[in-house]
Structure 1
Amino acid sequence: MSAGRLPRTLRLDPSDTFVFARAAEPGEWAVTGSFLFFDTDLATLAGKERAAFRSGFIGIDSLGFSTLVVVSEASEAEREAAVEVLARHIHERFGAPDREAARAAAREEIEVAASLCNLPVGSVVAMHRSERDGEIREEFRTLHQRAAGADPLHGRAFHFVETDEDGPEEQADLVGLLNGAFAGAERA
């Protein structure tokens, strides 16, 4: 195994701490983590567990989930340390028969993760995991920074505009609207 690139967990905002039951710490070496779901009835997943299945990379130190990873340089020593940490988890927490079997599984997971890093350092990668025909499938996409001069409002859900008007504040009576909708439905 040679030095090269590996993914690290990335947290751009606190959303992972709300989306997942356990969020990875920023900067952990990461793997896709599909092995966590091999013995799971995927149809029964709900809420945070379903979110983890659909889009969570695994931080190998915490076994927490991260929506995004960033391609990073990894020395041979860092890669070997990542294999050893993951092998310890696979042996102690997931029941590998011995440390060598766990190490082989960890190396395989690290190699899969490294295969995602044939991109420039700093590239951000997201994953979508699904189940098709009884198999777990992973699809990856690279998120790119907007080009200089690109429309800064493109992709925003909200745009706030400051005004100098001192007019009345807009208000909406949502309960009244809801009651009106029920009254209309009852008459129909």
Structure 2
Amino acid sequence: MKLAQVLRLDDSDENVFERAAQPGEWAISGGFAFSNWEEGDLVGQQRQAFTNGWMGLESFGRATFVVVTPISEEDYAALIDGLAIHFVEAWGAPGFEAARPVAEEELGHMREMCEDHDDNTLLIVERELVPAGLNEKFRAIVPGEAKIEDIAGHG
């Protein structure tokens, strides 16, 4: 089984996101956090998080890059429970039992995406607002194919 972990290539995430996810955290897209956003919400660090931020599952901060990595069944189950608790505490879900299937779905989506890639594949998310809500696109950079201009945020 595979999932994604936060990869930090430099310290830029600390500057571009309000809360940066830490290297090694398991991560999901976290697009649900933007489900009710409108164009006026896309300013400053919030714009950066919306545009290309993965969500770390410990800090619930954002990261620019994640990397496909094996995960144990036990760790995966613990992440589902942790995300369900987060949904209750931070998002007002009515209870753990109601939140757990939603958390399982969120992690399942990420797991399915990662299963299609080799270990150490770098993943990038790009989001945009569309009339129907939110559109997410995912890009993979295969190990050994990455060029500095594919991942560098400078000119």
Establish whether TM, by shorter chain, passes 0.5.
yes
Residues 1:42 and 1:111: Cα distance change in structure 2 (over 3 Å): farther
SS at match of 2:51: helix
Alignment match of 1:130 (pick from 128, 134, 141): 128
- Alignment match of 1:17 (pick from 14, 18, 23): 14
| Larger relative contact order, structure 1 or 2 (CA cutoff 8 Å, min sep 6) | 2
Distance in 1 (alpha carbons) for counterparts of 2:148 and 2:8: 22
Q: Are the aligned partners of 2:120 and 2:143 in contact in 1 as well (CA < 8 Å)?
A: no
CA distance in 1: counterparts of 2:97 and 2:63, whole angstroms: 28
Alignment partner of 2:64 out of 67, 74, 97: 67
Runs of 4+ aligned structure 1 residues displaced above 6 Å come to: 152-158
Deviations 1:93-136 (A, max 9, x none): 10111111111111011011112211001101001011112321
Higher CA-based Rg: 1
1:37 Cα deviation after fit = 1.0
Task: Could you tell me which runs of 5 or more consecutive residues in structure 1 were left unpaired when the two chains were aligned.
Answer: 159-188
Count of residue correspondences = 152
- TM-score, normalised to structure 2, is 0.90
More helix by share: 2
- CA distance in structure 2 between the aligned counterparts of 1:94 and 1:41, rounded to whole angstroms: 18
Distance 1:94 1:153, change over 3 A: closer
Q: Give the counterpart letter for 2:95 in structure 1.
A: D
Counterpart Cα distance in 2 of 1:26 and 1:116 = 20
Gaps in structure 2 of 5+ consecutive residues: none
Percentage of pairs with the same residue: 37
Match of 2:70, SS state, is strand
1:130-169 equivalent positions in 2, closer than 5 A: 130-146=128-144
3-state SS of 1:93 partner: helix
Q: Does 1:46 align with 2:47?
A: no
Provide Cα deviations, 1:6-58, integer angstroms capped at 9, x if missing partner.
01111111111111010001111111001111233343320100000000000
The structure-2 alpha-carbon separation of the partners of 1:101 and 1:141, relative to structure 1 and needing over 3 Å to count, comes to same
Looking at structure 2, the residues matched to 154 and 104 of structure 1 have their Cα atoms a distance apart, in angstroms, of 39
- 5 Å-filtered alignment, 1:108-127, equals 108-117=105-114, 118-127=116-125
